[in-house]
Chains A and B, each alone.
Chain A
Amino acid sequence: MARYDRAITVFSPDGHLFQVEYALEAVRKGNAAVGVRGTDNVVLGVEKKSAAKLQDSRSARKIVSLDDHVALACAGLKADARVLINRARIECQSHRLTVEDPVTVEYITRYIAGLQQKYTQSGGVRPFGLSTLIVGFDPYSGVPSLYQTDPSGTFSAWKAHATGRNSNSMREFLEKNYKETSGQETVKLAIRALLEVVESGGKTIEVAVMTKEHGLRQLEEAEIDAIVAEIEAEKVAAEVAKKAPAAPKET
């Protein structure tokens, strides 16, 4: 088996591209990222490693915008992410120049996935070690979208999805608890999913909301703390309700 993992362009006898699978491993070691689509907005949440005291946290933003109406979060090798993001940003502008229209979310996702695929089929290169969550609104239809790409170059649309560390637990949570939401409810759902795998607090989570009117808005630490407090309170109330199922009837 070790013989077939040296070069990306070599299939193993049982049909695996080991380099791509190893890239997926790198993604699994990256920070947790979650995306939830609401009826009128899309929310991205990323786990933040506790910032070093002297580090300027604004320079290490993990949720970035590709254009006014499209944003991206990723899990995996951050240096690879920078390269991919730059190429995607150029493509967004290039599309505006050649057809005088902003990109649709599907188009830019297809472009990024295509780029990731190219690097799985050339000599002397390795795949990008990251999976992306791409959110945005289509320019004319105004429909919110959430897409995901991975190192193999496949992409698909999701109602809610998670990638990176402990993504399985997050995905299970989302599958159990997803329902059509809008506005603040969508934000809460995304944060609740993240809190399953991250120690709570505004310091360890970065959240951004994309709306049609206001584009991408990064939530302040204080806002996140407030929502986390709300969620904790709801959890406590739910526990109390469970513990006392038959409330004594007042006569």
Chain B
Amino acid sequence: MKLDTSGLESAAPVWGAPSELVDGFSAAPSFEVPNTTDFDGFQKEAIQMVKPAKGTTTLAFIFKEGVMVAADSRASMGGYISSQSVKKIIEINPYMLGTMAGGAADCQFWHRNLGIKCRLHELANKRRISVTGASKLLANILYSYRGMGLSVGTMIAGWDETGPGLYYVDSEGGRLKGMRFSVGSGSPYAYGVLDNGYRYDMSVEEAAELARRSIYHATFRDGASGGVASVYYVGPNGWKKLTGDDVGELHYKYYPVMPSTVEQEMVEVAGA
């Protein structure tokens, strides 16, 4: 299985390119390098320019009953909130979910692409791909585009033959296996609540409530997160969307307004 470099092949054939039969490796992709004195500095600047801050909060954790996945739904362009209703949990296939953080287009496209690859794997091998395998496919693709400005911080959550699986994959090419992850600008706040309340043997309801609370608290403090807190559960029979609550409403649910006695009242003063 080659690394997927199909996106990098130039249209014109390269002279002396090794034929596919001779060896399994295609010609290294190449492109023109700009004329600067400080190429490394230039590259750093270019990366900083295209690398948008991942304004979002997503989290996922494995517990006794399976995997819980939750995310907010706000999309921001700098200080402008472009949407409050973005689907940040992407359904790769009936038993695997991916979360979106970073560039929305990048995440959506590559998750769709991963879904295609997973389906092709199933058809060719007559069995479902493992979460390990799917996350590795995505990580290899993202690695081959390293340094070209992709911004993807995603978690692949699913249930396969070996049980629940959770991997964190990002556009730097990193891939980590773990039990609890949170990704995005709101992740520190989510981690605080999640790490505090986490127990391995929770019921599905308890885990869903923990996930919802963590997202809510992140949206409370982080300006780039908000909208609707969606919670999905991945079990042995696949994923299921549990709830989608507006975080504004959640706030008043957790902290209801207490009517308090008025100390002083403003009264209309009779004209002097």
Q: CB within 8 Å of B: which residues of A?
A: 87, 90, 94-95, 98-101, 104, 106-107, 110, 118-119, 122, 125, 140
Contact = CB atoms under 8 A, between A and B. Distances in A.
Given A95-B1, A140-B161, A125 B21 contact: yes
B140 A99 contact: no
Interface of B: 1, 21, 24, 121, 124-126, 129-130, 132-133, 136-137, 140, 161
A122 B19 CA distance: 11
Contact of B21 (A99, A101, A119): A119
Contacts of A101: 130, 132-133
Contact of A99 (B24, B126, B130, B161): B130
A107 B125 contact: yes
A118 B21 CA distance: 8
Contacts of B140: 98
29 contacts: A87-B24, A90-B24, A95-B1, A98-B1, A98-B133, A98-B136, A98-B137, A98-B140, A99-B1, A99-B121, A99-B129, A99-B132, A99-B133, A99-B136, A99-B137, A100-B133, A100-B136, A101-B130, A101-B132, A101-B133, A106-B125, A106-B126, A107-B125, A110-B124, A118-B21, A119-B21, A122-B21, A125-B21, A140-B161
Given A95-B1, A98-B133, A99-B137, 13 more contacts: A94-B1, A98-B140, A99-B1, A99-B130, A99-B132, A99-B133, A99-B136, A101-B130, A101-B132, A101-B133, A104-B125, A118-B21, A140-B161
Nearest to A94: B1
A125 B22 CA distance: 11
A119 to B, nearest CB: 7
A227 B224 CA distance: 76
Contacts of B126: 106
Contacts of B1: 94-95, 98-99
A217 B124 CA distance: 31
Contacts of B132: 99-101
A163 B46 CA distance: 61
Contacts of A98: 1, 133, 136-137, 140
A94 B133 CA distance: 12
Contacts of A104: 125
4 smallest beta-carbon distances between A and B, as pairs: A99-B133, A98-B1, A100-B132, A94-B1
B109 to A, nearest CB: 20
A106 B121 CA distance: 13
B22 to A, nearest CB: 10
B142 to A, nearest CB: 14
Contacts of A90: 24
Contacts of B137: 98-99
Contacts of A95: 1
A101 B131 CA distance: 11
A90 B130 CA distance: 22
Contacts of B161: 140
Contacts of B129: 99
Nearest to B126: A106
A104 B126 CA distance: 11
Contacts of B124: 107, 110
